[in-house]
Amino acid sequence: MVSAEDARDVDLSVRIGGLRLRYPTMMGSGCYGSGEEFARFADLARIGAIVLKSVTRLPRLGNPMPRIVHTPSGMLNAIGLQNPGIDWYLEHEIGKLAERPCAIIGSVAGFSVGEYVEVTQRLAERPEIDAIELNVSCPNVASEGETFACDSRATSEVVSAARAATRKPLIVKLSPNVTDITVIAREAESAGADALAVINTVRGMAIDVERARPRLGNVAGGLSGPAIRPIAVLAVYEAARAVRIPIIGQGGIASLSDALEFFLAGASAIGIGTANFTDPRVPERIVDGLAEHLAGQGARSISEIVGRANVGFADVHQYEGDAG
């Protein structure tokens, strides 16, 4: 049996660049509003950080409805970055964040390097913002349908530029929709990222067979939830072997056991998104569970288990399991 004191003594804090989080749990961007929406159901003092909904330079109305489709053990979303734009955001929204009892991480999206830089700089200037996450997995108008995070040169460019725009911790959020995530991960690291968020949603779509048309107003969307967890665990496992900066693992985490998979794969912290829609008590349960689990193992801090199951790959011949 693990005593409550033992569990309380476990150090769950984690460092992302210069920022120290009391808990290694971050609420995924776009899933947790600005925290206010969930404050009635969850104790924000017991989470590490809220990553705000991504903000762009100009206001965006977002995609037409429907924006959400439920799928087996997951969901598709295509919100389309609905947000009031950085001017309005700084004027009317950001002040409310001051009283949050956890770290606040601003998420920046854009359609050009210039936009990323402007929004990063203006957001990071504000004392309410503890760190910046670059959502580089969003549309890049310059090259049809591609995203920054799908192209290593573009990633490098936008991360370098954002790096120059702020000294606050900089997290780069990677897309799983790439042939080799380690290439992008290394680019982001050498361009100055303090941490990587792995992964954003997986591209997917669903069709309404009665009406013979795509279900989402935007046709394609991003898949999240437990369905993508095996994809996310592998992405973290690979990225952790490729870079030295901390990784924030996310994708389908809904329980203590799920969270442990990510830490053992090499994540220093975890993101929780869709599971908040399943039950807003999940983040607190995970934090309690982690403390108890670590105490039970005689560990003193979460860092002791990070990467412990990351034993590399068998050999090149057998690397691709999907060779089946």
Ligand X SMILES: Cc1cc2nc3c(=O)[nH]c(=O)nc-3n(C[C@H](O)[C@H](O)[C@H](O)COP(=O)(O)OP(=O)(O)OC[C@H]3O[C@@H](n4cnc5c(N)ncnc54)[C@H](O)[C@@H]3O)c2cc1C
- As annotated, the active-site residues are 138
The token duo for 163 is: 């790096």
Q: Nearer Cβ to ligand FMN, position 77 or 166?
A: 77
Dihedral of alpha carbons 107, 49, 189, 125, sign: positive
Q: What is the CA radius of gyration of the chain?
A: 19
92 binds, among another protein, ligand FMN, ligand X, none (CB under 5 to 8 A by kind): another protein
Q: Which of 118, 203, 205, 277 binds another protein (CB under 8 A)?
A: 277
Phi first, then psi: what are they for 216, rounded to 5°? -80, 140
**Position 70 contacts ligand X (CB under 6 A):** yes
Q: Binding to another protein (CB under 8 A): which residues in 32-51?
A: 32-33, 37-38, 40-41
What DSSP designation does 316 have? G
Q: Which of 53, 100, 163, 215 binds ligand FMN (CB under 6 A)?
A: 53
Residue 2 burial by CB count (10 A; 0-12/13-18/19+): exposed, middle or buried? middle
**Position 72 contacts ligand X (CB under 6 A):** yes
**Position 54 contacts ligand FMN (CB under 6 A):** yes
12 closest CA partner among 2, 25, 27, 1: 25
Q: How far is the CB of 59 from ligand FMN (least distance, A)?
A: 14
Residue partners of 291: CB distance under 8 A and separation at least 6: 7, 8, 10, 12
Rounded CA separation 149/56 (Å):
17
280 closest CA partner among 31, 29, 67, 106: 31
- According to DSSP, the residues that pair with 132 across neighbouring strands are 106, 170
Q: How far is the CB of 295 from ligand X (least distance, A)?
A: 21
Q: Nearer Cβ to a copy of itself, position 67 or 126?
A: 67
Window of 15-23, 28-36, 123-131, 307-315 that interacts with another protein by CB under 8 A: 28-36
272 binds, among a copy of itself, ligand FMN, ligand X, none (CB under 5 to 8 A by kind): ligand FMN
Q: Which of 2, 11, 46, 85 binds another protein (CB under 8 A)?
A: 85
70 binds, among ligand X, ligand FMN, a copy of itself, none (CB under 5 to 8 A by kind): ligand X
Q: Nearer Cβ to another protein, position 152 or 276?
A: 276
Q: Nearer Cβ to a copy of itself, position 39 or 231?
A: 231
Q: At 85, which amino acid appears?
A: G
**Position 71 contacts ligand X (CB under 6 A):** yes
Residue 70: strand, helix, or coil: strand
Window of 6-14, 25-33, 112-120, 183-191 that interacts with ligand FMN by CB under 6 A: 25-33
Q: At 188, which amino acid appears?
A: A
Residue 302: strand, helix, or coil: helix
The token duo for 196 is: 């990587």
- According to DSSP, the residues that pair with 107 across neighbouring strands are 133
**Position 252 contacts ligand FMN (CB under 6 A):** yes
Q: Which residues bind another protein (CB under 8 A)?
A: 30-33, 37-38, 40-41, 53, 59, 61-62, 65-70, 72-75, 77, 79, 82-85, 88, 92, 225-226, 254-255, 274, 276-281
